[in-house]
Structure 1
Amino acid sequence: VLPIERLAVELGGRGIDLLVDAAHAPGMVPVDLAALDVPYWTGNGHKWLCGPKGSALLAVRADRRAAVQPLVISHGWNDPREHAGERTPFRLRFDWTGTSDPTAFLALADAVELVAAIEPGGWPAIMAANHQLVLDGRERVAAALGVRAPAPDEMLGSMAALPVPGLSTDGEALALHLALVDDGIEVPVHGWPVPAARGPGEGPRAVLLRISAQRYNEPRDYDQLAEALRRRLGRPGAR
């Protein structure tokens, strides 16, 4: 979890527009867009909010909306309500684009309400429980890998990445990922930085494994992963 609030202030003071790629933020950490006051912010609805794939959120600050247009235009482009002040031009142009199926967007609000009802404390309780579970899971998996946590607790939401000692190539990362799939475990294992962030001919500097925590997870899930890693990587204590 990056200090977006501080970054927004520093960049804004230098006249630099900030686009926040908050793919995992909705449902994982509290989000206050009014307080954040960034020019552009986007997040996914199908991840922690448990909405349908294809649902997402786009927020553009009022002073930047005139310059942001949808890739596909439809009736909203020249809707007369724009001039009557019933809805903003930004909403009219983006709410319905071409022949897009709006089902995912229409279902997102129900998904948010449904998941909130899982815990008596609603979303704040869900986010707190997931955060605590991923800290516990990280400790168990780090012990199996023989590594220390690379980031402080306060920089985590409901996900945590750990380095995998002894692996250094994309091929090795893929092989471990597929081996864990054979063990019935689905976790991302990849070279870091990702290929898009590397220079020509440059390989990864490390291999990372990422765990997540949602309300359907239990501590024993991370014990199962830890045991599989010990066995697959030949670590002490494997059974």
Structure 2
Amino acid sequence: MSTTDVTTAPRPLLLPGGEPAAAAWSLDPALRHLNHGSFGAVPTAVQEEQNRLRAEMDRAPVVWFPGLPRRIAAVRAEVAAFLRVSAGDLAMVPNASAGASVVFGNLPRRRGGEIVVTDHGYGAVTMGAERLARRWGGRVRTAHVPLGAGAEEAYEAVLAECGDATDLVVVDHVTSATARRLPVAEIGAEARRRGVPVLVDGAHAPGLLQAPLDGVDCDFWVANLHKWGCAPRGSAVLVARGPLRDGLYPLIDSWGAAEPFPQRFDSQGTLDLTGYLATPASLGFIGRTWGWDTARGYMDELADYGQRVIGDAFAALTGEPGGVDVGMPVPGMRLVRLPAGLGRTRIDADGLRDRVAAELAVEAAFTSFGGIGYLRLSAHVYNTPDDYEYFAERCVPVLADWARSEATR
């Protein structure tokens, strides 16, 4: 947790004309939107820009598609500047999982075919690692990192699973289910010394972390721009450095296959890549309207406030602390422990998400780790303290009742 004074609600952000920040989005006002971290939310102006680009594409497709690689290259340069990396190291991909699939589909086995992951890993990426291990005739080794583990303990847990047979380490920059960082810089440096490639899943990092790749030495880094960057969905990056980069090819073979990395990713046939082209509009909208430092600071203060308000509401009903301290916290994301019996597995947590949306009109993220269910808060600029006060007043008592019903079944 941060040292922010969470007894005082942060002042909501406003648009230049004085309207609430949420007025810049088309989110349904009949719902409370407390789960930005899963699918993001695209500002209305960016939706309009993407629609303008689609209209341009459909007016003259024979002009559009041959000129598209040049336009994608220009976007890569803008996104690379935002992330503070070289444009020559960055390829555009549909999402972080697709970027990971590119790595899994092109990486050669060099040692014993073992892949090291953690128990905080994103399920789809871990499943991809398992498929690669089977194809290699190897296996996946899972590093168990306690939720409260600091950088050194987490580092030791991951490296303890690495050995002479390790061909790849897959580690999250920011974990999805548990809203914490992992020490990717330290893990990457040691893996480089051992000659082991590292894939960092940075799905949540762009916009949430300033200059996320500064000091990080890894072979591959994948990340979504549609989350904290609020870009159209289907806009993500694959950053690759080192000798293995030149062996990476897109999931779809197209006419750019003979080009070097990353240019070969700029040609993807007739796919609608207007989401890529509209991404700079989203990054620029937040930057011009509030500034990214201000946006991150507000999101962090608000997440702290939300954790306190909702955690205290649960504690008042259950007698157990609701707030959760993680070992390496991140801005804008927090966990609140659910009452016993709720969200104990991923399937249970997903069912809780759907039920809360249907019955309580709240879009929220529920996750599971180590058999314990959590509410994962992920604030953005359009959220306000009232969102979390509403959840504490209206939803927490209902969730407590659901937990009591589970206990008596």
Query: Does structure 1 residue 125 correspond to structure 2 residue 294?
Result: yes
User: More relative contact order in 1 or in 2 (CA 8 Å, sep 6+)?
Assistant: 2
Pick from 87, 90, 93 the counterpart of residue 261 of structure 2: 90
Counterpart Cα distance in 2 of 1:167 and 1:214: 29
Cα drift, residue 31 of structure 1: 2.5
* Root mean square deviation, CA, Å: 2.2
Cα drift, residue 158 of structure 1: 1.4
Query: Does structure 1 residue 101 correspond to structure 2 residue 281?
Result: no
Query: Does structure 1 residue 222 correspond to structure 2 residue 398?
Result: no
Q: Counterpart in 2 of 1:12?
A: 192
1:171-220: CA deviation from partner (whole Å, max 9, x where unpaired): 65455434422222111123335xxxxxxxxxxx1112111110110111
Q: Counterpart in 2 of 1:144?
A: 313
Cα drift, residue 70 of structure 1: 1.3
Query: Does structure 1 residue 26 correspond to structure 2 residue 206?
Result: yes
Counterpart Cα distance in 1 of 2:298 and 2:209: 11
8 Å contact 2:365–2:375 — kept in the other structure? yes
Structure 1, unpaired ranges of 5+: 80-88, 194-204
- Structure 1 residue matching 2:284: 3-state secondary structure: helix
Cα drift, residue 157 of structure 1: 2.1
1:152-178: CA deviation from partner (whole Å, max 9, x where unpaired): 586122111222122254465455434
After TM superposition, the score normalised by the length of structure 1 is 0.80
Counterpart Cα distance in 2 of 1:124 and 1:22: 19
Which residues of 2 match residues 63-74 of structure 1 at below 5 A? 63-74=243-254
Q: Counterpart in 1 of 2:400?
A: 233
- Report the CA distance shift for 1:32/1:175 in structure 2 as closer, same or farther (over 3 A): closer
8 Å contact 2:182–2:328 — kept in the other structure? no
Cα drift, residue 19 of structure 1: 0.8
Query: Does structure 1 residue 156 correspond to structure 2 residue 359?
Result: no
Counterpart Cα distance in 1 of 2:212 and 2:353: 36
Q: Counterpart in 2 of 1:83?
A: none
Q: Counterpart in 2 of 1:207?
A: 373
Q: Counterpart in 1 of 2:136?
A: none
- Alignment length (residue pairs): 213
1:60-87: CA deviation from partner (whole Å, max 9, x where unpaired): 00422112111212221235xxxxxxxx
1:104-132: CA deviation from partner (whole Å, max 9, x where unpaired): 1111111100111221xx11221121111
Residue identity matched to 1:115:
I
Query: Does structure 1 residue 192 correspond to structure 2 residue 369?
Result: yes
Q: Taking every aligned residue pair, what percent have the same amino acid on both sides?
A: 30
Residue identity matched to 2:356:
L
- Report the CA distance shift for 1:148/1:219 in structure 2 as closer, same or farther (over 3 A): same
- Report the CA distance shift for 1:6/1:149 in structure 2 as closer, same or farther (over 3 A): farther
8 Å contact 2:367–2:375 — kept in the other structure? yes
